């Protein structure tokens, strides 16, 4: 059984699958993996967008393949896992469960359809990815998983109930898998950023789109390329969490060290915002 040694770097020369690779952080992951000598299957529900990413990866001299996949459908994710191995002619060594959507609004304004739509993609999509690849990694003797959550998984900002819950589930799943899979030589990292300039607002259902677009353009403390690079570096070091921005780190510290004070701060801030 091949084991990750202390100096092993799963992001180097990886045979990787990236969901939601057609834009944003997913595309940045694909490009960064290409720079590290990897072969990448770029999956997206939008096949044309996935093909665009493939062209960019190939321009860097790496091999890449485009596969259409709706991560909300378990059978499609299972097919993706099989197809990826056939396309790359190698076992997959890294899966990045990145596909996701944005959804905002007050709790009592969210319909059952809203809940199912968001949870099926943001949470169940990640669960499907882990279920498809963990058995393969165990059989291989090693593997690595990056699950894209959000700082929303712990900040619990108002008017983002459904999104917060979906991303909190991704973080909890990742924390549990990290403990369970360590003995199987499978590394897990969970990414929890705040604002990153991507298409998630454009393609999602969120209130105050104009304000959020302004924030993404002018108040984001990083870029998707920097986030992808940092996350892969954290994975290589065997670290569970990637919290890339200073605001995300501050919220994490506040929530962990003074949870009741943070709850009061959040409620008071929201009252002043209204």
- Three-state helix/strand/coil letters over 73-137: CHHHHHHHHHHHHHHHCCCCCEEEECCCCCECECHHHCCHHHHHHHHHHHHHHHHHHHHHHHHHH
Q: Could you tell me the two tokens for 29?
A: 């992951």
Q: Which residues of 165-178 are buried (b: 16+ CB within 10 A; e: fewer)?
A: bbbbbbbebbeebb
Domains of the chain: 15-273 (3.40.50.720)
pTM score of the predicted model: 0.88
Catalytic residue among 163, 214, 262, 270: 163
Give which of 82, 83, 104, 77 is closest to 20, Cα–Cα.
Answer: 77
Is 262 catalytic? The answer is no
Q: Give the C-alpha separation, 50 to 34, whole Å.
A: 15
- Note the pLDDT tens digit of each residue in 39-96: 999 999 999 999 999 999 999 999 999 999 999 999 999 999 999 999 999 999 999 9
- Note the pLDDT tens digit of each residue in 181-230: 999 999 999 999 986 555 655 555 555 444 444 344 445 567 899 999 99
């Amino acid at each position: 059984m091949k084991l990750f040694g202390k100096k092993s770097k799963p992001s180097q020369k990886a045979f990787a699958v990236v969901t939601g690779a057609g834009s944003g952080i997913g595309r940045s992951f694909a490009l960064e993996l290409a720079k590290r000598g990897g072969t990448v299957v770029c999956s997206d529900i939008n096949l044309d967008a996935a093909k665009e990413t493939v062209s960019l990866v190939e321009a860097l001299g790496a091999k890449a393949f485009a596969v259409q996949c709706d991560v909300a459908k378990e059978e499609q994710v299972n097919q993706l896992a099989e197809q990826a191995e056939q396309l790359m002619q190698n076992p997959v060594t890294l899966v990045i469960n990145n596909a996701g959507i944005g959804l905002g609004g007050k709790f009592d304004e969210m319909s059952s359809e809203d809940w199912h739509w968001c949870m099926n993609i943001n949470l169940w999509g990640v669960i499907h990815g882990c279920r498809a690849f963990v058995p393969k990694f165990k059989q291989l003797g090693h593997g690595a998983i990056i699950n894209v959550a959000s700082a929303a998984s712990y900040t619990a900002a108002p008017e983002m109930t459904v999104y917060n819950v979906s991303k909190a589930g991704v973080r909890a799943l990742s924390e549990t898998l990290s403990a369970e899979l360590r003995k199987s030589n499978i590394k897990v990292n969970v990414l929890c950023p705040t604002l990153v300039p991507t298409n998630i607002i454009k393609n999602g259902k969120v209130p105050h789109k104009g304000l959020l677009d302004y924030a993404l353009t002018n108040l984001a403390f990083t870029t998707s390329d920097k986030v992808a690079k940092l996350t892969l570096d954290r994975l290589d070091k065997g670290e569970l969490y990637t919290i890339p921005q200073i605001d995300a780190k501050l919220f994490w510290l506040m929530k962990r060290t003074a949870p009741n004070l943070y709850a009061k701060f959040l409620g008071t801030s929201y009252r002043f915002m209204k």
